[in-house]
Amino acid sequence: MTDAQSDATDPDLFLASASPRRAELLERMGVRFRTVAQSVDEQIEPDETPEVFVIRLALEKARAGLSARPAGAGAPVLGADTAVVIDDEVLGKPADRDQALAMLDRLAGRSHRVLTGVALLDEDREVTRLSLSMVTLRELASAEKNAYWESGEPADKAGAYAIQGRGGVFIEQLEGSYSGVMGLPMFETHDLLAEFGIDYQSRWPAGQ
- Beta bridge partners of residue 6, listed in sequence order: none
d(CA 169, CA 208): 29
Annotate 140-152 with b (16+ C-beta within 10 A) or e (fewer): beeeebeebbeee
Query: Catalytic residue at 81?
Result: yes
Q: What is the DSSP letter of 108?
A: B
C-alpha span between 161 and 207 (Å, rounded): 36
Helix, strand and coil percent figures for the chain, each rounded to 5: 40, 25, 35
Query: Which residues are CB-neighbours of 43 under 8 A, at least 6 positions away?
Result: none
Distance CA 10, CA 114 (A): 33
Query: Across-strand partners of 121?
Result: 77, 126
Catalytic residue among 41, 81, 105, 199: 81
Beta bridge pairs of residue 95: none
Active site residues: 81
